[in-house]
Structure 1
């Protein structure tokens, strides 16, 4: 791992597109909570097709099926940040499927506003 990379995790949480929590779409709620917890970023991606434990294939082919596919909510962060978000989801009683994977991450050519620390060039000269 290059010196400028941070070690952490990739967290993917899979939710139904129409699933809500406290009156907010769950994917949106997850992004809001992660931001409030201080995570640097997260993204939500709409699936063009998906199936879950019941093996019913959902596809985003027709307008009338809007809202029936899966959403993947993804975060790349430090282990502690990921654990804080998962703890909140557990406390809120939300049932979701998730995957955690080790990740190395960083910013190529960072500027002074980037939160991930110094660049490899600065470490080599520092």
Structure 2
């Protein structure tokens, strides 16, 4: 199936509608019927201000980036981006064309393309 890979970049303490933004985004995607999504906390990174943040044992929470990834159809991607836009959430993102499927799918799932 052709679609796209979309990755949102958030801060671990960033909030949206009173919740952690990464949690809110996963929950909203689930409500939209997106088949799956994942959030990953980085061990280090920097953004547009070029300030390096690294994970250390004594570091206060909130400074590190969180990636939230989805592999979706073009229509699902448009709905996700509209959702984030309407919520007023500042979220840099990457949108990359992708081909996806399931190897050895369950009954009713589309087969993987060769």
1:71 aligns with 2:66: yes
The residue number in structure 2 matching 1:90 is: 85
**Preserved contact between residue 50 and residue 58 of structure 1 (Cα < 8 Å):** yes
- Could you say which structure has the larger radius of gyration? 1
**Preserved contact between residue 14 and residue 96 of structure 1 (Cα < 8 Å):** yes
Q: Structure 1 length normalisation: TM-score?
A: 0.84
Distance 2:26 2:81 in 1: 12
Distance 1:66 1:51 in 2: 15
Aligned residues: 113
Distance 2:112 2:51 in 1: 47
Q: Structure 2 length normalisation: TM-score?
A: 0.93
TM-superposed deviation, 1:21: 0.7
Distance 2:13 2:112 in 1: 41
Distance 1:65 1:119 in 2: 43
The residue number in structure 2 matching 1:32 is: 27
Q: Which runs of 4+ in 1 moved over 4 A?
A: none
The residue number in structure 2 matching 1:104 is: 99
**Preserved contact between residue 42 and residue 67 of structure 2 (Cα < 8 Å):** yes
SS at 1:65's partner residue? Answer: coil
**Preserved contact between residue 17 and residue 69 of structure 1 (Cα < 8 Å):** yes
Structure 2 unmatched runs, 5+: none
TM-superposed deviation, 1:118: 4.1
Cα distance per residue 1:26-70 (max 9 Å; x no partner): 000000010101100000000000101100100012233333200
